[in-house]
A = this chain, B = another copy of it.
């Protein structure tokens, strides 16, 4: 757990920032019904934070880094439900049953905030603006990964890259960014093998649509990438 305010680097990016008070800044009146950050956690790459069937108690906000939620199938395949980047919240999926339906682990060194669900509910009850905000965020989650429904590998990968760029540099699409996850993870999310990811990235590069330099991706022709995502190429 971290405690000095210098360790709170990214609160401006956090979707909860206007309803949240870091603990050391809490005014003496504790009844303000804001969320209070009591537990901030540093995670190493590959460090897990919850497992399937763990009791649901907290939502989590990513402050720095990136996480994945996933579960391992009977045959050993890892199935990735989603990625979460700085400012994003995960755990909503656990509300319904009271248990996390997945594992969550950091894919980079990361910092996250715990948001106790009880406290979350109290803030919700006392702040109509928070209600609207949460509805909006959960609504956004419902639309996440809609491109997973695309049929071809090219389409899904192109849409994924665009989505990734926007979420890493919200709200803009930057033409340069670093892939936070391995090809394996991308594949497990997009239902492709790492070999296919690699082949397609090479193909996109050969066609002058993107440039790949290790983990660095550069969009050279974003419009063409969008066309591929929409199934409009060739």
Give chain A's interface residues, CB within 8 Å of chain B: 73-75, 77, 79, 81, 92-96, 101, 121, 124-125, 128, 131-132, 134-143, 146, 148-151, 191, 230-232
Contact = CB atoms under 8 A, between A and B. Distances in A.
Given A73-B230, A231-B73, A93 B131 contact: no
Q: Is the interface of A mostly helix, strand, loop or mixed?
A: helix
16 contacts: A74-B230, A75-B231, A77-B151, A79-B149, A92-B139, A93-B139, A93-B142, A93-B143, A95-B138, A95-B139, A96-B136, A124-B135, A125-B128, A131-B131, A138-B139, A138-B142
A222 to B, nearest CB: 17
A132 B94 CA distance: 13
As for how many copies of this chain the complex holds, the number is: 2
Contact of A143 (B75, B101, B149): B101
Contacts of A96: 136-137, 139-140, 143
B191 A146 contact: no
A128 B126 CA distance: 9
A135 B93 CA distance: 10
A230 B125 CA distance: 40
Contact of A191 (B73, B134, B137, B149): B149
A75 B151 CA distance: 12
A75 B140 CA distance: 26
A231 B95 CA distance: 27
Given A77-B231, A95-B135, A96-B140, 6 more contacts: A73-B230, A74-B232, A92-B139, A125-B131, A148-B148, A151-B191
